[in-house]
Amino acid sequence: MNLIEGRKVSKEILLKLKDQVSGLINKHIHPKLAVILVGQNPASLSYIRQKQKACSDTGIEWEQFDYDEEVTTEQLASKVHSLNEDPDIHGILVQLPLPKNVYAPEVLKAIEPKKDVDGFTAYNLGKMFLSTEFEHLTPCTPMGVIQLLEYYKVPIKGQEVVVVGHSNIVGKPLATMLLNRDATVTVCHVHTKDLASHTKRADILCVAVGKANLITAEMVKEGAVVIDIGVNRIKGADGKEKLVGDCDFENVSKKAGMITPVPGGVGPMTVACLMENTVKSAKRLNNLT
């Protein structure tokens, strides 16, 4: 088994971006990310800390707007509109999930596609549907997975790829990006009848469900590449909280050819890709590419 070291790859990406940000600052363009956070969801706070650190590591400016859970859809959309108009802002990120009283699609719809560094707007998702040529601002986690596969020279074309999970943030865009690269893609989800019958066929198995130990060794083909995108906080044997993915890592790793650890696999790549998208937006908004 070989470990796919997302943390290491992400550091390389951040180093390259730091140079690019310096170059932009010399041209009096200071890439800046605006982040909207509603409430105090512990997972969101943890993600936001990681994103803020990556901004400080690369030299990207960070501005955070905090709201309490009582905020309305209209108030958030109105904030997004003002950020759309602000020439100093190059990326707008609305941290998900939003509370139940907010209609998230309406808030995301308000984001100007050129500043949509999460790649969640219908415009950017629709473009991505066409081909790799139109993958401009793509969702960061799927983009991170593709970059990891490319970094480790894992062939995608013609391979049997099974994606477990069909969320709008990860599963659906990831399946689309793999299809753009000519994989044979199967998407499984909570209503799939016999999950193991699909996962066992996978040359590349990508799992983004959020259920610890969903994937056991018996469900994985010998030598498969396993990309674990799950993030679960569970109580370890010592009673302390720990972070695990969706795979039974100890046993799946013995059967897999390559596997991503959790933490230190896809997570840091998501953050690095967000930084890439922010730099990309800053360049495009200034007609530099």
Expressed in angstroms, the distance from the first to the final Cα of the chain is 40
11-19, 92-100, 147-155, 211-219 -> range binding ligand GUN (CB under 6 A): 92-100
Query: Is 51 a catalytic site residue?
Result: yes
Cβ nearer to ligand GUN, comparing 141 with 260: 141
Of the candidates 155, 157, 224, which has an alpha carbon nearest to the alpha carbon of residue 184? 157
Query: Is 194 a catalytic site residue?
Result: no
Among 89, 93, 161, 220, binds ligand GUN (CB under 6 A): 93
Q: How far apart are CA 219 and CA 194, in angstroms?
A: 11
Q: Which of 32, 51, 127, 221 is catalytic?
A: 51
* Contact string (CB under 6 A) for ligand GUN, positions 94-133, x = contact: xxx---------------------x---------------
CB 166 within 8 Å of CB 187: yes
Cβ nearer to ligand GUN, comparing 93 with 227: 93
In one-letter notation, the amino acid at residue 133 is E
Contacts of 19 (CB under 8 A, 6+ apart): none
CA 17 to chain centre: 17
Q: How far apart are CA 262 and CA 245, in angstroms?
A: 5
Burial status of residue 174 (CB atoms within 10 A of its CB: 0-12, 13-18, 19 or more)? buried
- Does position 33 bind ligand GUN by CB under 6 A? no
Q: Which of 32, 79, 114, 118 is catalytic?
A: 118
Among 140, 161, 215, 226, binds ligand GUN (CB under 6 A): 140
Query: Is 95 a catalytic site residue?
Result: yes
- Write out the residues near ligand GUN by the rule CB under 6 A: 93-96, 118, 140-141, 169, 270
The set of catalytic residues is 51, 95, 118
